[in-house]
Structure 1
Amino acid sequence: MTIDVRQEILDALTDVDMPRLPPEAAPSETVRRAGIEVPIYRAGCVVVGSGAAGLRAAVELKRRGDDVVIVSQSAWGGTSACSGSDKQTLHTANTADQGDNYKAMARAIRSGGAMDEDTAYVEAVGSSRMMASLQFLGLPLPQDPLGGTLRYQTDHDEVGRATSCGPRTSRLMVKVLAEEAIRLGVPFYNQTTAVKILTVGEGVGRHVVGILVMRAGDRTEQNPLGIALFISDVIVLAAGGPGELYRDSVYPNGCFGCLGLALEAGVELVNLTESQFGIGTRREGFPWNLSGTYVQAIPHIYSLDSKGVEHHFLGEYYRSTQELASNVFRKGYQWPFHATRMLEFGSSLVDLAISSETAAGRRVFMDFNRNPPPVPGDLPFSLERLDEDVGLYLGKAGAGQNRPIDRLRHMNPLAIELYRRYKIDIAEEPLEFAVNNQHMNGGIMVDTWGRSNLGGCYAVGEAAGTHGVTRPGGAALNAGQVFGTRAAEHISASGRAKRTATEDITGTAEAGIIDVLAALRTASPLTVKSIRSEVQARMSEKAGILCDQQSVAQALIEARQLNADIRARGVAYGRAAEAVRGVQWRHMALASEAVLSALDFFIRNGGGSRGARAICDAVGESLPLASAGPLEEYRFRREREADRDKQIVVRLEGDEIRLSTRANRTFDESARSFFERDWPAWLTGRIYDLADD
């Protein structure tokens, strides 16, 4: 049996048109500062980023009567709108299988360690509300005939709390939230790149007063770079993760995030050692994660050398055809690389093998028209010879077809349709892919309301470092919605965004403009292209899934030198658009140094292997095995249990990266609420902890 889905249904879930942006409001005034005519825009709150998390924050603020605007480098061009996988996941509390036990869900979310326990509970308890509100806005999550939401198991998910609209789930989230923001009258400023956060005060009293941007629409002869000033006492950083950090990346092009921007403003970051890597098609073509049914269909994975000779390389790692096929399947719900899954012939041995092939200069492909060939000396592939969990899943799915493409078409025809939209027919030709960087689990350190250490500065979505070492698939989409709402609730309760800002901060702005212009020098030998090439190569080759102490230490030395050179020489630019990129690559070089500093600190202090990376060490306790014997080159350190209880904090002091550790915040599972006792805290606003705001 094959699922028969009409083409118009496939089209609706694949081709998701985004709404047209409303006309932009004109600046309130213009002033001459630092030799240029600077347009000024005023708002109660500025949300930086137009992805799902930023839109949620803006919608919730506007609903509460706050004055909010959205600035976006490229509306509908970020990861929420442009990234995904076979059936992109939203991870929320379930209505069955213990999924509605919020405390159990919180334990699952934080199970990898290095995550605040209260944050995990906030994400768990907020998930039901987020899913219901998205459905109210029109998100087409699938239901059974009695109204229950359809669920499945995803990575780091022991219960099955995942649901999906298909490969475009997050884009559909952006669509319904954007439509609501436009309906509510939230102003958008597109082609607007944040370049400097403006602050006043000292120590704990430092707080936001505005943000400098570069806007294509504000370029004039008197302001050739289009520098503009948004005056606001509150900003929400929702610009996503540092997608340009790695050469081998599945992020859409041009995703810079805001970690360097935040560091420059004195904002503290956390958990920068923690990312996600996994198999996917690179952004040179169509960037997409190859999780879920793409690998659960069990395609043939092979490589081609420079002479075009095909290599069945996975047969050199696994002991039997059954073991090989079963672990290819398991990449569906064990998609992210994890060091421990390289052991005992687990599923991350697939990632290691693919990474080794590409490092050797071979190209790796997935062929959906062929089943895996037999491991040398073993029986051929058969659906009757699979590990019990794999055979049970395919049996329940009715995926007993002879070829991978037919199994994929049965389980998820949208997965095939999606690549066809980008001129890749996986039903006809093999698909080239690699192990890529996919998500930053660390980011800006925030509390349970999304507040950073800088007064008036909040962070939500991938910009916020709320995740620990691992997270269930789809938990990031949920976290962005939960914290977008939480930040909006807190900002609204403070009253600081009820009215448009009226302060005169042009003196502070002038100093910021001078700083931005000083970093851009037409005669600099440092170009956007040279910085990009250096940063991305270093991060992909020295800070990918396989690391060692010496290589990371050397990479850090080189990153520090690059930033010293940028400070001394600036970044070259020709056209105004290159000036924007110059600032962004200055920020990305700083973010790279911050990541490498945290990773070097972690490894030098005995840190071991966990979610993102294997820390290779000749005297490491863990040794992956292949069918031919031990893989001594990849011997790695075991994770230390104590490291799960703390996080590495990164801050910039002057030109120096400073590092420290802090213990995870805890959550008392035995605590019980009592209505009459606790209701007054809600009525009076004490729950928002506004004393220091």
Structure 2
Amino acid sequence: MSLSVPQKILDALTDVVMPRLKPAPKAAETIRIGDFDLPVYRTGALVIGSGAAGLRAAVEMKRRGVDVTIVSQSAWGGTSACSGSDKQTLHTANTKDQGDNFQAMAEAIRAGGAMDEDTAYIEAVGSVRAMASLQYLGLPLPQDHLGGTLRYQTDHDEVGRATSCGPRTSRLMVKVLAEEAIRLDIPFFNQTTAIKVLKNTQGVTGLLAIRPKESTDANPYGLAVFPCSALVFAAGGPGEMYRDSVFPNGCFGTLGMALEAGLELTNITESQFGISTRREGFPWNLSGTYVQVIPHIYSVDGDGTERHFLADYYRTTQEMASNIFRKGYQWPFHASRMLDFQSSLIDLAIFREGQKGRRVFMDFNRNPEPIDAPFSLERLDSDVADYLRSAGADHALPIDRLRHMNPLAIELYKRYKVDISADPLEFAVNNQHMNGGIAVDTWGRTNIPGIYAVGEASGTHGATRPGGSALNAGQVFGTRVAEHIGAAGTARAPSQSDVSGAAATAISNVTGHRKSDSPLTWKDIRADVQARMSDHAGILCNPADVSDALTDARALNTRIHDLGIAVARNAEMVRAVQWQQMALASEAVLAALDHYIAKGGGSRGARAICDPLGESLPMSVQGPLPEVRFRTEREADKNSQLKVRLDGTNFVITDVANRCYDGDKSFFERDWPAWLTGDIYRSGVEASC
């Protein structure tokens, strides 16, 4: 049996056409700063980024009477619009066998540790509102005939809290939020790259950006100034930091700019890595049904010889096939899952094939080749067999199982000229998400007054998280940031701040990096940073290599400071700034990682800390794998986070205990006045655990 879904429905869920933007407003004034004439765009609140989290913040602010503006390097070009965010993890109070409560969901969200307990509870409570409002805007989340939301199990989720509109879930979220932003007539400045925060002793005053459309003889770089009273970082994560990445091209994030502004970062040691197709072609995570249909996985060497390399790791065909399936809801690499022949042994095997110069493929027209016995749907572990049986996926070949379980998975690649129904699919282990970012409190506030962070730009996710919960977090905190800014009342009208002094300093800093005789180009910096991060800060981290990588990263930033960056054309200035800031951010990540390892930190989340004295030794069918012996995570490390800030040219790293939440102690008559008077928005940070 195959599911019968009309082609037009598949097309609508795959080819998601984004709305056209209205023209950006014209500048009402200009200011003269040094040799430059700069356009000025005043606003109450400014959102950096046009992904799902940033759009949510903008829409919710506009509804609360805030004068809000959006700037975006590339509208609909970020991870939530272009990458493989195919689900949202939400509260599941819908059926008896999948019942839920907010505290249980919060415990699941923060189970990996290094996450504030109050933040996890906020995300759990807010998920109901996030889902309902997205449905109101038109997001087609699937329901049964009685109105219950269809759910399934995902990464780090034993309850089954995930729901999905198909592989384009996050793009559909961006679409409905963008349509609402356009309806609300929110000014949108596309092709506008944020480069410097403007501030004074009281807090934020604005932003310096590059808008190529503004380029003139008196403004050769296209600089523009955006005075504002509130600034929201929502430009995603540092996707360009790694050579091996599933981020869409051009995703820089804003961590370097945040460090330069004096913002504190947290958990930047924590990322996600997993199997996906590379961004050189069509970047997409190969989770869910792509692996649950159990395709054949093999490698090809330089001579074209095909290798059944997983047979070097697993003991039986059943064990191998069952763990290929489990990558569907155990997608991120996790060090502990290399043990006992679990699913991350697959990630390790693929990673090592890549290190040997071999290309890795999955073939949906072949079942896995045998190890001890031929592959059979009758010989699978019980959890795998039960799932496929419930799904009715008893077809002979993986492609037919995929066509039955998720035809959209096939359609998606076809849109990018890859027909997985006919040809094998090349893939690798790639960087996919940074769980850390800018440190925020329960209202999304940073350590600088007037500056907020949401989505992947914020560091709210902890060491691990349920798949899809990052999308939910962006929606929840986008709303909370809007509530806080709206309640403050300082951004209801365009800012009238005098930003000329701060802008002059920022411009001097930016132009000071341009030196025509420098041997460094932004392409040199890109190659250096990406190779170092992928080779020494990926899924396997050796303490000595990390320390050496940090030394090299510091040396690169010293060279940038001393030599500047050669910019052949004025239009390249934006890339020069972005790579200068990315080099700074990469040093911050390595500094935090080196600090964590030197203090005895163990393997957690995305990285195995390899150590010949480590307690954990992965095994393969051929015996122990001593080169990947690793330290186990110390339980105490789950209770804190590493905070990082820039002090001059040095990074200050501190270990801060997670904030606590000890249960819902609200009482209506006692607590209602705080809501009525707005005292809830003036609450301070909760105590540490």
In structure 2, the partner of 1:277 is 273
Counterpart secondary structure, 1:209 = strand
1:107 and 2:101 are equivalent in the alignment: no
Alignment-mate amino acid for residue 205 of structure 2:
V
- Equivalent residue in structure 1 for 2:460, among 463, 466, 477: 466
| Matching residue's letter, 2:677 | T
Helix, strand or coil at the partner of 1:650:
strand
Partner of 2:18: 18
Q: Structure 1 counterpart of 2:461, which letter?
A: H
* 8 Å contact kept, 1:57–1:484: yes
> Which residue type is aligned with residue 91 of structure 2?
A
1:247 to 236, 243, 247: 243
Counterpart position of 1:65: 65
CA distance in 1, matches of 2:74, 2:5: 34
CA offsets 1:247-285 (integer angstroms, 9 cap, x no match): 000000000000000000000000011000000000000
Asked if residue 51 in structure 1 is aligned to residue 51 in structure 2, the reply is: yes
1:684 and 2:654 aligned: no
Q: Which amino acid aligns with 2:667?
A: F
Structure 1, residues 469-512: CA drift from partner, whole Å, max 9, x if none?
11000000000000000000000100111111112221221111
CA contact under 8 A between 1:200 and 1:207: conserved in structure 2?
Answer: yes
Q: 1:191 — aligned with what?
A: 191
* 2:636 maps to 1:642: yes
What is the CA distance between 1:520 and its match in structure 2? 2.1
Q: CA deviation at 1:98?
A: 5.0
Q: Aligned residue for 1:589?
A: 583
In 2: Cα distance, 1:489 partner to 1:162 partner: 26
Give the aligned residue type for 1:124: A
Pair 1:651-2:645 in alignment: yes
- The answer as to 2:217 corresponding to 1:221 is yes
Question: Would the aligned equivalents of 1:645 and 1:664 in 2 still touch at CA under 8 Å?
Answer: yes
Q: Residue in 2 aligned with 1:125? A: 125
Pairing 1:536–2:530 present: yes
Deviations 1:356-389 (A, max 9, x none): 00001000000000000101xx110000000000
Identity of aligned residues (%): 68
Partner-residue secondary structure (3-state), 1:401? coil
State the match for 1:452 in structure 2: 446
Partner of 1:523: 517
* Amino acid corresponding to residue 272 of structure 1 in structure 2: I
Deviations 1:627-648 (A, max 9, x none): 0111111100010000000000
**Tell me, which stretches of 5 or more residues in structure 1 are unaligned?**
none
Structure 2 partner of 1:93: 91
Q: Partner residue of 1:577? A: 571
Question: 1-side partners of 2:404 and 2:570: how far apart?
Answer: 50
SS at match of 1:42: coil
Paired position in structure 2 for 1:606: 600
Retained in 1: the 8 A contact 2:48–2:70?
yes
In the alignment, is residue 357 of structure 1 matched against residue 353 of structure 2? yes
One-letter identity of the residue aligned with 1:244: E
- Whether 2:425 is the aligned partner of 1:427: answer no
Q: 1:691 to 1:351 in 2, by over 3 A?
A: closer
1:542-576 deviation per Cα after TM superposition (whole angstroms, max 9, x unaligned):
00000011000000000001011111111221223
- The letter for the 1-side match of 2:308 is H
The 2-side partners of 1:163 and 1:648 are apart by 32
Alignment of 1:10-409 (within 5 A): 10-84=10-84, 88-94=86-92, 95-96=94-95, 97=97, 99-201=99-201, 206-375=202-371, 378-409=372-403
CA distance in 2, matches of 1:4, 1:656: 60
Match for residue 472 of structure 2 among 474, 478, 486: 478
Q: Report how far residue 99 of structure 1 moved.
A: 4.6
**Alpha-carbon distance between aligned partners in 2 of 1:691 and 1:33, rounded to the nearest angstrom:** 39
1:40-86 per-residue CA deviation (whole Å, 9 max, x = no partner) reads 1100000000000000000000001110000000000000100016x
Residue equivalent to 2:542: 548
**One-letter code of the match for 1:323?**
E
Q: For the residues of structure 1 that align with 2:13 and 2:99, how far apart are their CA atoms?
A: 27
- State the secondary structure of the residue aligned to 1:3: coil
Contact 2:98 2:160 in 1 (8 A): no
* 1:212 and 1:229 in contact (8 A); partners too: yes
Contact 2:361 2:425 in 1 (8 A): yes
Larger displacement relative to structure 2 (565-574 or 472-481): 565-574
Amino acid at match of 2:388: L
Q: Is the 8 A contact 1:397 1:411 kept in 2?
A: yes
The one-letter code matched in structure 2 to 1:234 is A
Measure, in 1, the Cα distance between the counterparts of 2:531 and 2:34.
37
**CA RMSD in angstroms, aligned pairs only:** 1.0
Cα drift, residue 690 of structure 1? 6.5
**Correspondence 1:434-445 to 2 at 5 A:** 434-445=428-439
What SS does the corresponding residue of 1:142 show, helix, strand or coil?
A: coil
**How far apart, CA to CA, are the structure 2 residues paired with 1:67 and 1:324?**
56
1:675 aligned onto 2:675: no
Summarize deviations over 1:559-605 as a string: whole Å, max 9, x none: 00101111111122122331100000011000100000000000000
> Residue 429 of structure 2: SS of its match in structure 1?
strand
User: Structure 2: which 5+ runs fail to align?
Assistant: none
Name the CA distance, whole Å, in 1 between partners of 2:239 and 2:586.
Answer: 11
- 61-70 or 570-579, which deviates more: 570-579
Worse-superposed segment, 163-172 or 507-516: 507-516
How many angstroms apart in 2 are the aligned matches of 1:84 and 1:361? 26
The 8 Å contact of residues 198 and 499 in structure 2, kept in 1 or not, is answered as: no
Inter-partner Cα distance in structure 2 for 1:54 and 1:29: 26
Report the Cα distance in structure 2 between the residues aligned to 1:200 and 1:148, rounded to whole angstroms: 51
Letter paired with 2:211: R
SS of match in other structure, 1:479: helix
Q: TM-score, normalised by structure 1?
A: 0.98
CA drift of 1:334 comes to 0.2
1:103 alignment partner, SS class: helix
Q: TM-score, normalised by structure 2?
A: 0.98
Work out whether residues 520 and 583 of structure 1, in 8 Å CA contact, stay in contact via their aligned partners in 2.
no
Contact 1:34 1:513 in 2 (8 A): no
Contact 1:99–1:160 (8 Å) recurs in 2: no
C-alpha deviations, 1:153-194, integer Å up to 9, x for none? Answer: 001001000000000000000000000000001000000000
SS of 1:61 mapped into structure 2: helix
Report if the CA contact (8 A) 2:113-2:462 is conserved. yes
CA drift of 1:522 comes to 2.8
Letter in 2 for 1:368: F
Three-state SS of the structure 1 residue aligned to 2:41 is strand
